[in-house]
Structure 1
Amino acid sequence: MRWSAASAGPNFVYRGQPLGCPFAFWLVVQKTGLDDGRKALVLNKIQQYFHGRRHLHRTPEGRLVIALRAQRIDCVVDVGANIGQTGLALFKHGFDGKVLSFEPTSQAYKELRETARAWPNWSVAPQMALGTAERQVEINLAVTSNWSSIKKVRDKTVGMKPKSRIVGQETIDLKRLDQEVPKSVDPNDRLFVKIDTQGYEADVLEGCDGLLPSIFGFKLELSLLALYEGEKLYDYYLRWMADRGFELWMVEDVSFSSELGRQLQFDAVFFRPGGLS
């Protein structure tokens, strides 16, 4: 008998995350004797079969996975990983490369490590932020951790987004990306760097110089309106990328202000044109 997605039963939820895998197949995988990480990997492959690559273009994460495959990216470097949203979304949408995550804040870092533990291709670097030089800095902790930043949030931003309000600070280590990433990746890996550091993206990019020949793409969260003090806006990054031979590849919406009636941020994906030649 051939199982179908319609007849196999409800989707399985693993560690609180729906994997889109029919229950009957989950039951078979549980009897294989594999460890939890390997089971999650097998279930992810089954999900890919049922979900179908033809549907990937319908979500931002799916479109990114299509682009990563087309560019033959071996490893996604996830800077500002928070609790692991990016890595989890990539694997759930069928990315079969590696993910290396960096996160500076203690509570988010603990959750990130727990999330990544289930995926064999997902590694988490020691707790740190990435920037221009090796030193210690203070990071501002927000009500919601994904708003935490080394930059100070503007009062206007808090008015629009109350969860960005600062509730504390934490001393963290700051290091350079081009010094830390080579410790965890293969020298021949084609790298893609995702940076979501709440206004601190320019400093992270300055720390990439020594690794640029191995980086074939970037994803940045860019602002149309400065949400943090001293934050550079989208046009700075468009010039930075163009000057280094990267082309704007995709744009996805991030946040909109009903109060202002305008878009605040968007995700921009860049690749080197002809990067596969």
Structure 2
Amino acid sequence: MQFELFIKKLARRFGVDLRAYRPARSEAARLARMLEQHRIDTVLDVGANTGQFARHLRSIGYRGRIICFDPLQEAHAALVKLARTDPALTVAPRQALGESSGEVEINVSANLESSSLLSVSEAHLQAEPRVRTVATEKVPMRRLDEAVLSYLSPGDRVFLKIDVQGYELPVLRGAERVLGQVIGVQLELSLQPLYQGEPLFREVIDAVEALGFALYDANPCFSDDATGRTYQVDGVFFRNEAS
């Protein structure tokens, strides 16, 4: 035990936190089991950024189809490049997704992945300065119902991942017709406002549960290093009747 503590302390000096690895209890293992249990064969990755979630899915053993959506020019180009190495990954045209069609302006963050249709809050900036807006891009907006028509077949069992920085509920409201095929949903739940006007976790959970889903898992995804306070968690939901 003393040797184990010594190794952990030594590793922390180099910025590494060593913990006992328990495969059955890890976040990745839980997601892999849930996707397998519910026989997911198609993932809609809304807010795919440069493909972080797609790569994560492949790392945990998911081999089904992934359809990626992202409106930003730089992120979209990275997705197209990733798709060249993954035959089961499809990249939809550049577009934002919401509850209506038209044109919108998106705030591009310094770290790219925190870009949003909403303005970033002061608390978010204090916790992570790299979320500051450095540019804007005008992009088309469509409903997911329309954007996904050419990609889905009636028998597909769909997992919908939404990572759109506070704009999750408008995406869901624009997916009314496709939700009948959606078996599971993953989206961000903010415990404190990170973007101006975004709904907080209670409202989002209530909205998703009202659509017939139950909360299966929650994992912290953003916290303040200075205070230790968690600001955001990833919530994973599956249909109550899914099996």
Q: Which residue of 1 aligns with 2:145?
A: 178
How far 1:156 moved relative to its partner?
Answer: 2.4
- Structure 2 residue matching 1:147: 3-state secondary structure: coil
Q: Which residue of 2 aligns with 1:87?
A: 54
For the pair shown, which has the larger CA radius of gyration, 1 or 2? 1
Structure 1 residues 99-248: aligned runs within 5 Å:
99-248=66-215
Rounded to whole Å, the distance in 1 between the matches of 2:42 and 2:132 is 34
How far 1:182 moved relative to its partner?
Answer: 2.2
Rounded to whole Å, the distance in 2 between the matches of 1:83 and 1:67 is 24
Rounded to whole Å, the distance in 1 between the matches of 2:81 and 2:62 is 19
Q: Name structure 2 gaps, 5 residues minimum.
A: 1-21
Alignment size in residue pairs = 222
Rounded to whole Å, the distance in 2 between the matches of 1:274 and 1:156 is 39
When the two structures are superposed, what TM-score results if normalisation uses the length of structure 1? Answer: 0.77
Q: Deviations over 1:92-124 (max 9, x none)?
A: 211021111000000011011111221111111
How far 1:229 moved relative to its partner?
Answer: 0.4
How far 1:129 moved relative to its partner?
Answer: 1.0
Letter in 1 for 2:28: E
Larger RCO of the pair (alpha carbons < 8 Å, separation 6+): 2
Rounded to whole Å, the distance in 2 between the matches of 1:201 and 1:239 is 13
Q: Deviations over 1:161-191 (max 9, x none)?
A: 1000000100011101111112112221011
When the two structures are superposed, what TM-score results if normalisation uses the length of structure 2? Answer: 0.88
Rounded to whole Å, the distance in 2 between the matches of 1:242 and 1:92 is 29
Rounded to whole Å, the distance in 2 between the matches of 1:61 and 1:83 is 19
- Structure 2 residue matching 1:254: 3-state secondary structure: strand
Letter in 2 for 1:203: P
Rounded to whole Å, the distance in 2 between the matches of 1:113 and 1:62 is 28
Q: Which residue of 2 aligns with 1:78?
A: 45
- Structure 2 residue matching 1:182: 3-state secondary structure: coil
Structure 1 residues 163 and 103: CA distance shift in structure 2, 3 A: same
Letter in 1 for 2:240: P
How far 1:58 moved relative to its partner?
Answer: 4.9
Q: Which residue of 2 aligns with 1:47?
A: none
- Structure 2 residue matching 1:270: 3-state secondary structure: strand
Letter in 1 for 2:75: A
Letter in 2 for 1:126: P
Q: Deviations over 1:12-32 (max 9, x none)?
A: xxxxxxxxxxxxxxxxxxxxx
Q: Deviations over 1:129-153 (max 9, x none)?
A: 1101110000001100001000010
Rounded to whole Å, the distance in 2 between the matches of 1:115 and 1:123 is 10
Rounded to whole Å, the distance in 1 between the matches of 2:163 and 2:117 is 12
Structure in which a larger fraction of residues adopt helix: 1
Q: Which residue of 2 aligns with 1:15?
A: none
Letter in 2 for 1:184: Y
